[in-house]
Structure 1
Amino acid sequence: MAHRRSSGITSLAFNQDQGCFACCHKNGLRIYNVEPLVEKTHYTKEDIGEVVLCEMLHRTSWLLVVTARRPCSLMILDDQERGFIAEVFFKAPIRAIKARRDKVALVLNSTVQVLAIPTLNRVALMRIPTGCRPLCTIATDQSVPQLLAAPAHRKGSVQLVDVSRVVKGAQSSTPAVMGCHQNDLVCLSLSPNGTRLATASERGTIIRVFDTGSKTMLHELRRGSDYADVFCINFNATGSLICCVSDKGTMHIWSARGAWTRLAAAKAFPDTRAQCAFIDDRNAVMICEDGSYHKFSFATEGNCHRTDFDLFLQVGDDDDILQ
């Protein structure tokens, strides 16, 4: 996510079970529980500097961090030790991070590099178009195949690779390329078990859902008729629900019941980048780079209403990160 200077937030990211999120800030780092909204831990700029990226490793004490001062380094922050315990250097800045319990994928300028956890040895490398959006997604369930998806060199295409088959001593796998859109990709997401892939292009009018086994498109989900910049797509834990949020300030939710059907559309605020996730199969949440938190309840009949609102930068015991 892009830097939003008005709040000082540099990026927001949910953990793999969508129960927590990391708020990276020019004045440090904060980790929150989603429901209820509670600050779990925080670090000031004096502690660790300006943080630009953070990926939580499920609900463990390990945080995968990139700072503004060391943009080419992935550092492991152990929250129990309250300090960095490992660091890996790269030749180019790290632009995005996606992790599962045993692997982490790092998007650089022209490659996606996959490291094993906890050794941090490289186990896979995928080449991507130079300068494309920093996109990748990885299946988070502890199952095989362990799919990783990222942009391919052909416009609007995605490449898939099973990173469980590229470790030393195992059979190497060549990425499979899927044509998804005619325009450049802006967002993509795998279901936790890796069987479904959802994508959006720079037009932002539809979300396409693919079967990763057969490499075929299953559904087109209509987001709207106006062009939009899709910031986030997320599946729920079972892959039966999809949510997305764009620069229109609206979160859309679809359900897989035979054909995918739209359940709800809930508007928060436009003109701020946001991330969305599921609390459960009846509640979803949107966190925004203006520091706002929005909880929505929805029903199969299509009813949706906001049930909670907060300013998460003001949640906590101190005001170190406030402007």
Structure 2
Amino acid sequence: MANQSSASPILCASFNQDNSCFAIGTRDGFKIFDSSTGKLCYEKAIGAFSLVEMLFNSSLLAIVGAGEQPSLSPRRLCLFNTVTGAALRELNFLTSIVAVRMSRKRLVVILQDKAYIYDLNSLAILDTFDIVPNIKGLCAFSPSLDGCYLALPASTTKGSVLVYNVMELHSHCEIDAHRSPLAAIVLSSNGMYIATASEQGTIIRVHMVSQATKQSYSFRRGMSPSTIYTLSFGPSMHLPDILVATSSSGSVHVFRLGFILNQRSLRSSNLLGSLIPDSINDAFEADHHHVLHNAVPAGVKSYVVIRSVDKVVSTSITQSQASTSRACISIITYNGYFQEYSLSINDTNEASWGLEREFNLLTAIPDKLTDA
């Protein structure tokens, strides 16, 4: 995610594909941190970077300069090796690069009006296609080999999404998700689900990619407009348990997808529920969400991921079992901080939040000098 505010000390922030590490780009260079420990693993101080993308836990980075130094052009993509500290390959384009995504098989480069798909191993270009103007670099990507999709805005006037199959190299579908233009998109890591928010920011919708034009879940974030900065699904092999969002209000919103799926299954099993279309059923699903107010400063851009979701089963004296869902939520704020929250939700839908860690990303010092 690239930053659009020149006042922020962080220009970009991204987690790797399994959220085990994250990277930030600043006007001085870029840094890589371990998500679990907060340890600064690598840094390179050679100028301003607008995009830094990792490939899982490998030594390969895709980096793009912010254009503040002549040698760091925003039109040049550099594949960088953190072990050798040297560039492996450079790709040059006619216009600025606004987003980069990688899987073990594919490299995706997004310009303001065009998308390029490469084979990551050979860097042979596999496909290129025109896209609607996308200055903010809004896109989503699922790195799964079985469901490797790229999602991009399909319109500048409404909230429609183009879903492209990156492995098979063809358009999969187009989803009309909102009336207003899109502000945020995310795909689940397995490529099964896509969540969207519009510039209005009041409703968040979730679609199954395989049935994208037929079924959706709708969640109300609030009544007042707010900018949704990021959306993130919890890790799961099937339906993610939760979806989290951060907004310009400074709040963190968590929506219980697993709970909603169970409720919809119960409704479809009775006569009345089977007669009510999903678009009406969605109105019943709006309040199954939890909010942490003032988690980050209002108006400060933030990037959020759900690193883990676990279920803890406890047995009381009466031998009745109760389960609690516990989520680990990590947030990078563009004013330079990392925060980690724990969220626990019990069987009665009661939630409790806890701030587990917080530290300054800009002043972090590695255990030993790596490549500064």
TM-score by length of 2: 0.79
* Equivalent position of 2:248 in the other structure: 247
- How far 1:101 sits from its partner (Å)? 2.0
CA contact (8 A) 2:39 2:366 kept: no
What does the per-residue CA deviation read over 1:267-291, in whole Å, with 9 as the maximum and x for residues that have no partner? 2221211100122112111110111
Letter in 1 for 2:354: H
Q: Where does 1:1-323 land on structure 2 (aligned, <5 Å)?
A: 1-45=2-46, 49-67=47-65, 68=67, 69-143=72-146, 145-153=147-155, 155-166=158-169, 173-215=170-212, 216-238=214-236, 239-259=240-260, 261-266=288-293, 267-281=295-309, 282-300=327-345, 301-317=350-366
**How far apart in 2 are the matches of 1:311 and 1:133?**
26
On the 8 A contact 1:262/1:302 being kept in 2, the answer is no
Q: Secondary structure of 1:198's match?
A: strand
Structure 1 unpaired stretches of 5+: 167-172
- Call closer, same or farther: CA 1:240–1:112 in 2, change over 3 Å: farther
Task: Give the secondary structure class of the aligned counterpart of 1:213.
Answer: helix
CA RMSD of aligned residues (A): 1.9
Whole-angstrom CA distance in 2 between matches of 1:225 and 1:26? 37
SS of corresponding position for 2:167: helix
- Structure 2 Cα separation of the partners of residues 182 and 152 of structure 1: 12
Rounded Cα–Cα distance in structure 2 between residues aligned with 1:125 and 1:241: 34
Structure 1: distance between partners of 2:9 and 2:150 = 31
CA contact (8 A) 2:244 2:305 kept: yes
SS in 2 for 1:299: strand
CA contact (8 A) 2:97 2:110 kept: yes
**Higher Cα Rg, which structure:** 2
Q: Secondary structure at the match of 1:257?
A: helix
Counterpart CA distance in 2 for 1:156 and 1:93 is 24
CA deviation profile, 1:202-231 (whole Å, cap 9, x unmatched): 001121100111113421122122211111
Question: What is the alpha-carbon distance in structure 2 between the residues aligned to residue 316 and residue 4 of structure 1?
Answer: 25
CA contact 1:263–1:299 (8 Å) conserved in 2? no
Cα distance in 2 for residues equivalent to 1:186 and 1:298: 25
Q: In structure 1, how many angstroms separate the alpha carbons of the residues matched to 2:50 and 2:303?
A: 16
Q: How many residues align?
A: 309
TM-score normalized by the length of structure 1: 0.90
- Distance (whole Å) between structure 2 residues aligned to residue 107 and residue 230 of structure 1: 21
Deviations 1:45-80 (CA, angstroms, capped at 9, x unpaired): 2xxx32111101111000100012211111111001
Structure 1 distance, partners of 2:23, 2:161, is 27
CA distance in 1 between partners of 2:135 and 2:30 (Å):
27
Work out the CA distance in 1 between the residues paired with 2:97 and 2:301: 20
The question of whether the paired residues in 2 share the 8 Å contact of 1:273 and 1:288 is answered with yes
Distance 1:92 1:52 in 2: 14
Q: Distance in 2 between matches of 1:121 and 1:234?
A: 31
Q: Which amino acid aligns with 1:118?
A: N
Contact 1:88–1:120 (8 Å) recurs in 2: no
Render the CA deviation track for 1:73-114: whole Å, top value 9, x for unaligned: 111110011111101111111011222222122220111212
Contact 1:264 1:302 in 2 (8 A): no
1:4 shift after superposition = 4.3
**Unmatched 5+ stretches in structure 2:** 262-287, 310-326
